Structure 1
Amino acid sequence: MRNNIVDNLRGLCMLGVIGIHVGSLALAPNSFALYCWLEILSRYSVPAFFFISGYGLCCTDKGLLTGKPLNYIEFMKKRLQGAGLPYVAWSFFYLFYFWCTLPPGYISWNPLHVAYVLFFGLGCYHLYFMVILLWFYASYPLWRALLRFMLRHSLPLCLGALFIFQLAMNWWTTHTGITTDGWSLLAKNFFDHRLNYLPLHYLLIFMGGGLAAVYWEKFLALLKKHAGIVLAFYAASIVYIVGSAWYSFRYEGYSLLELAYTYHQLSPQGLVYTIGSLLAFFLGLHWLEARSSTGWTSYLQHALDTLSAYSMLIYFVHPLLLEWMTSFYTKFGIVMTVKKVVFSYFFLVITALIASILLTQFFKRVPFIKLLFTGKSK
């Protein structure tokens, strides 16, 4: 059964992802507020997609609560078609595009190099997400067993332990203090690209999606009952991450770029902000759905429905449009200002949506291409 609230979270996530990628344009105006909006307050988006994935897997897992064994082969066949095929197809698309547009030598078609690119999600800067998602799928039996363990024991205690683990795991992997000098090339690559394939960085959020699938009605009722606390926690999480970034920018001499490398979704501030955002978004989406029959809320709901419906293709295609946009700015010497960056953001959202709609119509005419680039045969 479809859950419109969870489905529409995809649209909000997509707005966040585009914000992160447009953030590079905000370096020129050197506006803390603008950069913070695009590069820091949009950081909820990547973890939230894993929440959605955890919710979707547990919703469709009919044997989850009964303990019935998972048909792993069939499970992986379905996931490799739905996520693996599009990942490989879009990776080759971007490799081919960069091979055509970059100077010779930047792109190699050596089979080992291509395998390296695909394994670590290096075809384009946004594709690493698909690699982590595929690893979540491949290791799902572990998380399925963990979820059943949590359901049988003290859930608050398990969540607290998982939260502490997540803080520790994320802190260690982003502040290792380890040098890879003298390591073998294979070991160096696995270490250097650890953020591109390890699903453990998003385990708490993924498991949260699974728990939401099991306890959806209770989860929603709890949010509504404690709406004031939820909104206060969300506001506090914003103050925490923005305040931390502002202090570093104002008093510790951090550049805007250094802020993005410090206060990302894996930082303690980013984890708390992600949790606060998810809780507040679900509360807001429930409120919107209950009031979407008339007035301005109906238009907002329709816009969000549309954005969510095309979110997958928007995710895959928007970096290409952003590349064209930035190339246009460079060619004509257009210097970014706050207004131009804001315009670029909304322009990219709209053009990516239009491109996704056109691609959807094209795919209907060519089913094989549709299967390759969306993972859907119908």
Structure 2
Amino acid sequence: MNKKGRLSDLPRKERITEIETLRGLAFVAVVLQHSIAHYSLVPQAGLQDGVVLAILLMLAKFAVPLFIFITGMVLFYNTGDQLHYGQFMRKRVMDVILPYVVWSFIYFILAKRNWTGFGWHELPDLALKLVTGKTASHFWYVIMLIQLYVFFPLFLHGIRYVYHRYQAKGRMIALLISGAVFLVLTDQLRNIMDWMERLQIPVLTDAFTTYADRNFIYFFFYFVLGAAAGLSVQRWREWIVRLRWVYWMVFIILGLRFIYLLMLEFQKPEGIRITFYTVSLIRPDMTLFLIASIMVMYQLASKLHHQRVLYWLGWIGGVSYGGYLMHLLVFRYSYIPDEWLYVAWGWNPAVRMIVTWIVALGVSCMLTWLISRLKWGKWIVGVVPKHGPSSKVTATTKK
């Protein structure tokens, strides 16, 4: 590395074969969750459909935490001894924030009931929604991700201090302490909201009340866990093998518990109504389930050797950011054949949900890939690998 310590001058690191597979799994799960959310509201959905939806939802709940884990793992694996923050943020602006702005504007325009064009008087409303991720329901994740990028130097300094200051045992204790702090935060969500509401601090009060669901503090541990994996990939893989019985047991027991709680939630005084308030991301028992889910998915990705499955999951992972940005819009048009055909054919909501999920997933991925082939495509869907994934994927891809 030269005196300036440019990231581009660092030697190419060994490939991490699981990254794109994990990213593909996460995006598949994201689309599945949003398909479940829609079909839980259809009038035909009964308790039997609710059981299917609840099981599938718990199997897909890992999506966002896994994306955050991947981000932490990749950033800490690739960052050299010196971080050039300007260069780092410039890349995120071009690859992540700019496509987000483009799609935010698209959703903002489409949300207008009567098309009258875009007026300058709407700029304050658009700006607020851009900053808060309110132009579309799934953009909360992008806002939370941007916060992780902004505060990355603080994470880098603190985690590297622990990594260089302590041996393996000390690092594990530090990770466990940060996990315990995270559990307390998620457990005290309501109390923190009440406290901040009383203080009425500009910006901060809103960050912990109105926009608490996209505050990076309530998701930081998944990023820290990814950082620990990225700084010591081989040791992380060893722990994945060593702890497999523990996290599989947590995954199964808590998963079944949440499914049971959802069954109770569905039974309202007025009859069966499918809702998913019980499985909010920010609660301590859900946090334990999600950590176990990340480890389960990592083990599955590590054990997957079917070349065709690896290829397609890797390809989906490569187009996942653009697909994430557009997939709710794609869903709008995926519901058209559902209303025209699937209902007329007598399909139950669970089957309609699965078909629509597959259609929306495929169209989102294909549109992202096609747009990325255009000269200006990266401004719309981010950076997409030009030649598709191989069975071994580098850790230097986006996110």
Kindly indicate whether residue 107 of structure 2 is the aligned counterpart of residue 94 of structure 1. Answer: yes
Q: 1:205 is paired with a residue of what secondary structure?
A: helix
Residue 122 of structure 1: CA displacement?
Answer: 0.8
- Identify unmatched segments of 5+ residues in structure 1: none
Same amino acid, percent of matched pairs:
18
> What is the match of residue 60 of structure 1?
78
| Residues 49 and 253 of structure 1, relative CA distance in 2, 3 Å threshold | farther
Residue 197 of structure 1: CA displacement?
Answer: 3.7
Residue 12 of structure 1: CA displacement?
Answer: 1.3
User: Could you tell me which amino acid in structure 2 is paired with residue 62 of structure 1?
Assistant: G
Residue 74 of structure 1: CA displacement?
Answer: 1.4
2:223 maps to which of 203, 206, 225 = 206
> What is the match of residue 305 of structure 1?
314
> What is the match of residue 17 of structure 1?
30
- Identify unmatched segments of 5+ residues in structure 2: 1-12, 387-399
2:41 maps to which of 27, 32, 37 = 27
Residue 214 of structure 1: CA displacement?
Answer: 1.0
Residue 155 of structure 1: CA displacement?
Answer: 2.2
Question: 2: distance between equivalents of 1:337 and 1:6?
Answer: 40
Kindly indicate whether residue 142 of structure 2 is the aligned counterpart of residue 142 of structure 1. Answer: no
Post-superposition CA distance 1:294-316 (Å, at most 9, x none): xxx33332332232222222212
Q: 1:160 is paired with a residue of what secondary structure?
A: helix
> What is the match of residue 318 of structure 1?
327
User: Could you tell me which amino acid in structure 2 is paired with residue 167 of structure 1?
Assistant: L
User: Could you tell me which amino acid in structure 2 is paired with residue 52 of structure 1?
Assistant: I
Question: 2: distance between equivalents of 1:155 and 1:254?
Answer: 51
TM-score by length of 2: 0.79
1:283 maps to which of 276, 299, 322 = 299
Kindly indicate whether residue 281 of structure 2 is the aligned counterpart of residue 268 of structure 1. Answer: no
**Could you say what the CA RMSD is over the residues aligned between the two structures, in angstroms?**
3.4
| Residues 161 and 227 of structure 1, relative CA distance in 2, 3 Å threshold | closer
> What is the match of residue 120 of structure 1?
132
2:194 maps to which of 178, 186, 192 = 178
More helix as a share of residues: 1
| Residues 246 and 85 of structure 1, relative CA distance in 2, 3 Å threshold | same
| Residues 335 and 226 of structure 1, relative CA distance in 2, 3 Å threshold | same
Total equivalences in the alignment? 362
Question: 2: distance between equivalents of 1:136 and 1:373?
Answer: 20
1:235 maps to which of 229, 237, 252 = 252
1:361 maps to which of 353, 366, 370 = 370
Aligned partners of 2:186 and 2:283 also within 8 Å: yes
Aligned partners of 1:13 and 1:45 also within 8 Å: yes
TM-score by length of 1: 0.83
| Residues 115 and 230 of structure 1, relative CA distance in 2, 3 Å threshold | same
Q: 2:249 is paired with a residue of what secondary structure?
A: helix
User: Could you tell me which amino acid in structure 2 is paired with residue 161 of structure 1?
Assistant: I
Residue 48 of structure 1: CA displacement?
Answer: 1.0
Q: 1:123 is paired with a residue of what secondary structure?
A: coil
User: Could you tell me which amino acid in structure 1 is paired with residue 55 of structure 2?
Assistant: W
Aligned partners of 2:371 and 2:377 also within 8 Å: no
